[in-house]
A and B are shown apart, each in its own frame.
Chain A
Amino acid sequence: MSAAVVTTEDKSGTTGEGPVFAVSNLWKVFGPKADRIPGDSELTALDPAELRERTGCTAAVRDVSFEVNKGEVFVVMGLSGSGKSTLVRCLTRLIEPTSGSLAIDGEDVLAMDKARLRELRRHRAAMVFQHFGLLPHRSVLDNVAYGLEIQGVGRAERRAKALAVVEKVGLEGLEQRRPGQLSGGQQQRVGLARALAVDPEVLLFDEPFSALDPLIRRDMQEEVVRLHREEGRTMVFITHDLSEALKLGDRIALMRDGRVVQLGTPEEIVGSPADDYVRDFVRDVARADVMSVRSAMRPVGEGEDTPGAALAPDAKVAEAIEAVARSGYPVRVMDGKRCLGVVDHAGLLAVVAGTDPARPASAPGEVVA
């Protein structure tokens, strides 16, 4: 066991620019004799209800493959029971996967022994839970320092680190409280601080804000956005809330009955849904806030040269609408000095109405199912 390898240097890229997590063909089946199910093509073809009836097993994660890149926020979204929690727990083997392969920075997680796995959990991936999972008999500070404590960090050092993190998540002054004396939002800040305190390479969130009321939830989402902007830490974020997924995610994997039905950027998911299920899912999204002007752009026409207003290619459609409405003319999309095209009323309206999905500027979403 080479514990020394697992230090923060790992994070700074000794393994190059490979993915942080690489998951392929991952299965998790609950129930009696679960092992036989992933290999049996007849059983894998069944839908969940039939499978349960035939074998008494539940396939919570079915044949899932994806990669999480360094520094991105990877969101897994799906309805209740779609297998998100199971999937994220498989990443650190809090739940033992049934089959498939799983690597962190190129190292095979499923082959790790107990000690190595503990090192993974201690230093490389820390998790934030929906129901917080705080130790009720410890103060806020001791909860935050808990991860360091079980690593054997000395008392003074871990307190100093914990204090710094407590401040970072905005809990100054509450260090000596018990979790029972905090509001839900504050408790989740403690949960977040506890995960941050061990300075992990990846943060895993399992529906961290579902138990909070909407205003607090927005605060906390902004907190996560801020943290990500400041530290650039890789995050895997589970949610069942589409708007949360669109707001936070660099890429989104949409799960249904244990499978990933579509994986792509928010724009791809909203702009070109892979199937009717996804289309249904994203129907009520305010598309103008998600889609970029690229999707509404057309080439510059003959003799069309509209100086004045210009937009960046990543600007959202909503901004373009405002610009077009103000100028009354088509507006240029400029990438630095280069003009990529223009957007006009017709193009923007088509995007908002969702009637013209055949004009994505980038490649269509990677359709898994």
Chain B
Amino acid sequence: MATATASTPARDTGIGALLRHRAVGKLLLLAVAAAVLVPIVDARWASGAWPDALTVDLTEPLGKTTDWIIDNRDSHWLFTHFLGHVSNAIVLSVRGVYLVLLAAGWAGVTVGAGLVAWRVAGVRLAVLASSAFAVCGLLGMWVPTMQTLALMIVAVLASVVIGLLLGLAGGLNDRIFRILRPVLDTMQVLPAYAYLLPFALVFGMGVPAAIIATVVYAAPPMARLTALGLRGADGGVMEAVTSLGATGRQRLLSARLPLALKELLLGVNQTIMMALSMAVIASVIGAGGLGDRVYQALSTVDVGQALAAGIPIVLLAVVLDRVTGAAGERAGAPADDRSPLRGRRGWSFAAAVTVVAALAARFADRVDWPVDWVVDIAPSVNTAKEWMVDHIYTGVPVVGGTADWAANFTTWVLNPVRDGLQGLPWWSVLLVVAALAWVIGTWQTALTAVAAMAAIGVLGVWNKSLDTLAQVLAGVAVTLVLGFAIGVAASRSKRLERLLRPVLDVFQTMPQFVYLIPVVALFGIGRAPAVAAAVVYALPAVVRITTQGLRQVDAAAMESSRSLGATSWQQLRQVQLPLARPALMLALNQGVVLVLAVVVIGGLVGGGALGYDVVFGIAQGDLATGLVAGVAIVCLGLMLDRVTQPTARRAKKGA
């Protein structure tokens, strides 16, 4: 997957000093405002938690809406004439793709995937692609893999088309771009989880809701990169094209779009990765496929089954990412004339060979993956897990056990932080949010953050949100400590960086959902495992941004400090860290956003709080609870993003 880059120039320390002064001014202003407002507010609504007088109970209206939708789903024109058709079209296309995949059989799909990879990305990735599909079959996951693949193909096609259209509009029209950009930027920081419910409500549980949620989640990066790519077209080239008398259409088709090809392919890559991650999570609202297998297995803590379904997800992710990434890198470079699959002929050749393979399997009566080729890993994985439960969960001399760690982490970190947050007067939470957001960003970001936080109170989920927030804070703290430590180490040792790079690459490609499997195996269920999954998920991005940020620090500044006889530690503290500040802030921002995304999914493995409410709402059909929790998650995401957002947003991890 495209990795987040922190390409901000180092800032000179003079500005840092100035900023500190400005920060003092802002804080003073805020203190004055607080001194006036707090006594008034406190006198009226004195309470620790958010005052009941200021909440709006949405249970009834939401319940009514839900009932209305359920009652009218088969009769109202909105459903029969519009949404119904959309839903049918989706079901039909997913079914169609699925049937084609099944008809191609394992041989056709494996060979076809290899040839397509070969055509767009070279021989090595072709081998990778084919063997990945073979492993999916070996694990006995052929059918769910094809289900997920069918979902993905439809969702990605729709996302790419919609993203392209939006991106074209934004790329060619300034006004649309100004409106589109903040919306797309914001959508990218919201946790995937929060998208599920509204669509489940409107379309009911099932494939249509899953596909639409996926498209809404995955189209923004395509739209964003398309718009940016089109706008970034070299002005000199565009002028030359105009000077030769090209029409508007010719300019777009023969110059502007080809010039943006790299961005378009990067957009496709990000869209595919986000679609995969969402298609898996959408199993919660009935998407079926691999995600569903993981979901079912996790709900019975069957780690073996979860792993058997999780490995194909990871393989799919790695293959899709590498192949589309390589295709993007190849774009623009002259075609490799030695490849036997070059040109248009390559495609026909690939298609022909695929058909031959599929037919061969059919005549050999081997369309379905042969049963005797399946290796069932679940029992042995579960045996291993039992062994772990017996031997390393608890009572290991000196270090304790993993379950002990989880319990200690819950008792000594999560509980105190949660209780502390919930014990704070509600207005002081708002004040802290305002102060942080304002000092780091602008008054607009501060206002958004405070409004988002207040909305959580108004919705009546103050305490639950603070519980989620406590998990996020704990997770972010751990992520940052580990991430900065590893990042600093990697920036100082080329060898370590080389070792880390492939690991980070794989970790950054995996869908969020998959991270739950190993932590459940290691720590059981509860809040601590949820936080652990979040840490593992967010860590790669933080490490990567930190390393890059420190590496980019001006070599001249480093040289001069070395010539002054600074020790290595002094160099790090006095030169590198201050100069890499923008990158570190970006790492913080990414860390917060990514941790939140997984903490809420942790509701599936006992994380409780808002994440659980969403699952509960879906499972019990209590959409009021679920929707409120979903909105609260969105607000929390907005607040956390704004509080940690220094200036303009930068490139972001697309997972």
Contacts and interface: CB of A to CB of B under 8 A. Distances in A.
A357 interface: no
Given A146-B254, A149-B254, A178-B334, A134 B237 contact: yes
Interface string A113-157: 000001111110011010111111101000000110111000000
A191 to B, nearest CB: 8
Given A121-B244, A135-B255, A147-B244, A129 B239 contact: yes
A135 B242 contact: no
Interface string A179-196: 001000000000100100
Contacts of A137: 258-259, 261, 332
Contacts of B35: none
Contacts, number: 70
Interface in B228-263: 234, 236-237, 239-247, 250, 254-255, 258-259, 261
Contact of B244 (A132, A150, A176, A177): A150
Contact of B243 (A127, A134, A139, A151): A127
Nearest to B332: A137
A353 interface: no
Contacts of A147: 244-245
Interface string B35-72: 00000000000000000000000000000000000000
A126 B243 contact: yes
A265 interface: no
Contacts of A94: 239, 242-243
A198 interface: yes
A262 interface: no
Given A121-B243, A122-B245, A135 B236 contact: no
B16 to A, nearest CB: 34
Given A136-B259, A137-B258, A118 B243 contact: no
B640 to A, nearest CB: 41
Interface string A92-125: 1010000000000000000000000011111100
Interface string B209-244: 000000000000000000000000010110111111
B250 A150 contact: yes
A134 B254 CA distance: 12
A136 B332 contact: yes
Contacts of A139: 334
Given A129-B239, A133-B236, A198 B244 contact: yes
B245 A151 contact: yes
Nearest to A117: B245
Contacts of B255: 135
Contact of B236 (A122, A126, A132, A150): A132
A150 B246 contact: yes
A135 B241 CA distance: 9
Interface residues of B, number: 20
B236 A129 contact: yes
Nearest to B234: A133
Given A135-B237, A135-B258, A146-B254, A126 B332 contact: no
Contacts of B254: 135, 146, 149-150
Contacts of B250: 150
Interface in A176-222: 176-178, 181, 191, 194, 198
A126 B239 CA distance: 12
Contacts of B242: 94, 121
B248 to A, nearest CB: 9
A178 B241 CA distance: 17
B259 to A, nearest CB: 7
A176 B254 CA distance: 18
B240 A118 contact: no
Contacts of A121: 242-245
A92 B243 contact: yes
Pick from B234, B241, B244 the residue with the most CB of A within 10 Å: B244
Contacts of A177: 334
A126 B241 CA distance: 10
Pick from A126, A135, A181 the residue with the most CB of B within 10 Å: A135
Contacts of B234: 133
A284 B236 CA distance: 34
Contacts of B332: 136-137
B623 to A, nearest CB: 50
Contacts of A149: 254
Contacts of A178: 334
Nearest to A130: B236
Interface string A227-240: 00000000000000
B259 A126 contact: no
A58 B244 CA distance: 27
Contacts of B241: 133, 135, 146, 150
Nearest to B258: A137
B247 A150 contact: yes
Pick from B240, B241, B258 the residue with the most CB of A within 10 Å: B240
A146 B244 contact: yes
A329 B610 CA distance: 107
Interface in A158-178: 176-178
Pick from A122, A123, A137, A147 the residue with the most CB of B within 10 Å: A137
Contacts of B334: 139, 176-178, 181
A201 B56 CA distance: 75
Nearest to B246: A150
Contact of A127 (B240, B246, B259): B240
A146 B237 CA distance: 12
Contact of B240 (A119, A123, A134, A151): A134
B642 to A, nearest CB: 34
A94 B251 CA distance: 14
A147 B246 CA distance: 8
Nearest to B249: A150
A37 to B, nearest CB: 25
A42 to B, nearest CB: 34
Pick from A122, A132, A150 the residue with the most CB of B within 10 Å: A150
A178 B255 CA distance: 15
A149 B254 CA distance: 10
Contacts of B243: 92, 94, 121, 126-127, 129
Interface string B256-286: 0011010000000000000000000000000
Contact of B245 (A129, A132, A150): A150
B237 A133 contact: yes
Given A129-B236, A129-B240, A135-B237, A118 B259 contact: no
A118 B239 contact: no
Given A131-B236, A133-B239, A126 B244 contact: yes
A363 to B, nearest CB: 36
Contacts of B244: 121-122, 126, 146-147, 150, 194, 198
A191 B246 CA distance: 16
Contacts of A198: 244
Interface string B79-118: 0000000000000000000000000000000000000000
Given A150-B250, A178-B334, A133 B240 contact: yes
A120 B243 CA distance: 9
A291 B2 CA distance: 63
Given A118-B247, A150-B245, 19 more contacts: A119-B245, A120-B245, A121-B242, A122-B245, A129-B236, A129-B240, A129-B243, A131-B236, A133-B239, A134-B237, A135-B241, A135-B258, A137-B258, A137-B261, A137-B332, A139-B334, A176-B334, A177-B334, A194-B244
Interface of A: 92, 94, 118-123, 126-127, 129, 131-137, 139, 146-147, 149-151, 176-178, 181, 191, 194, 198
27 contacts: A94-B239, A119-B245, A121-B242, A121-B243, A122-B245, A123-B245, A126-B243, A126-B244, A127-B243, A129-B236, A132-B240, A133-B236, A135-B241, A136-B259, A137-B258, A137-B261, A147-B245, A149-B254, A150-B241, A150-B244, A150-B246, A150-B247, A150-B254, A181-B334, A191-B240, A194-B244, A198-B244
The 10 closest A-B pairs by CB, nearest first: A133-B240, A122-B245, A121-B245, A147-B244, A133-B236, A118-B245, A127-B243, A131-B236, A137-B258, A150-B246
